[in-house]
Amino acid sequence: MPRVPQRLSYSFAIGLALFAVCLIYIPQWRHFAPSVHQSAPTSPYLTPWTVVSVSALSLALALIAAPVRAQHPSQVIFSRTLATIVFCFAAVFLLEYASGIRVPDLDIFFLPDASGQRVTLYAARPTPHSATTSLLFASALLLFHPGSSWRKRAFQIAVLVALALPTLACFGYIVQLLSPRSPASAPSGGLSLPAVLLYFTLGAGVLGLSVGSNVPKPAVARPAKVSGRWV
């Protein structure tokens, strides 16, 4: 039985674990929703649309990195479908922010009105920074192909760009932590601290795909010995 590459096991484990964590969080949001009626758009809570995007990308990562002998075509199709869905929703959210026109129906499932009070619309929406990061990670997974050298380079660049906003937000939280006048719980860089942790974990798993990828190398012709001479 051939040995499973270590990079696949690493990325698969991260993708599966992150997917499980997101599944645990999503049902809890329904109990948390009544307390965000008057929350400001920059509230430091972790929005459910961000968690849904990360969970879909984590599942897509786990499908790509599944430790199997031969990858079934359905795995690739399902993984790319999940990445495409995340890409489309992130693009819709960014267009909403750019145009000022939003679709309230997208938040109905995440905003139950069990308390009889009106829940603030769009409270479940990701911030523009979160939507941008999800879109870039989805683009990276769509670009990934172990048999193409240029797509591997484009994939690595897309992942590094996707980690730019979480990295800036992380530095912002460090500055807030070192500054006694600034509350550490305040959102930094448009990303809540839990969102930064989720994106860093996802980025670590996605980058694991590029370590030791089986990119085909050009064949090198070896000299042949004919009649006692090398030709």
Which residues on neighbouring strands pair with residue 188, listed in sequence order? 191
- Does the pLDDT of residue 42 top 70, yes or no? no
**79-123 tens-digit pLDDT:** 999 999 999 999 999 999 898 887 767 777 776 554 444 556 667
Cβ-based neighbour number of residue 139 at 10 Å = 20
Q: Do 73 and 118 form a contact (C-beta atoms < 8 A)?
A: no
Distance CA 34, CA 53 (A): 22
Cα 111 from Cα 49, distance rounded (Å): 11
Phi then psi for residue 229, to 5 deg, are -120, 150
Residue 219's pLDDT band (cuts 50, 70, 90): very low
Q: Is 27 exposed, middle or buried (0-12, 13-18, 19+ CB in 10 A)?
A: exposed
What share of the chain has pLDDT > 90, as a percent? Answer: 35
pTM: 0.79
DSSP, residue by residue, 22-48: HHHHHHHHHHHGGGGTT--TT-SS--H
DSSP, residue by residue, 99-150: HS---GGGGTTT---TTSSPPPTTTTPPPHHHHHHHHHHHHHHHH--TT-HH
% of the chain exceeding 70 in pLDDT: 69
CA-CA distances (angstroms) from residue 35 to 31, 48, 77, 173? 8, 14, 39, 24
- Residue 13's beta-bridge partner residues? none
Q: Say if strands 225-226 and 229-230 run parallel, antiparallel, or are unpaired.
A: antiparallel
In angstroms, the CA 32 to CA 30 distance is: 5
Q: Cα–chain-centroid distance for residue 197?
A: 11
Per-domain boundaries in the chain: 6-230
Distances (CA, A) of 114 to 20, 32, 46, 89: 26, 11, 20, 27
- Tell whether the model's pLDDT for residue 7 goes beyond 80: no
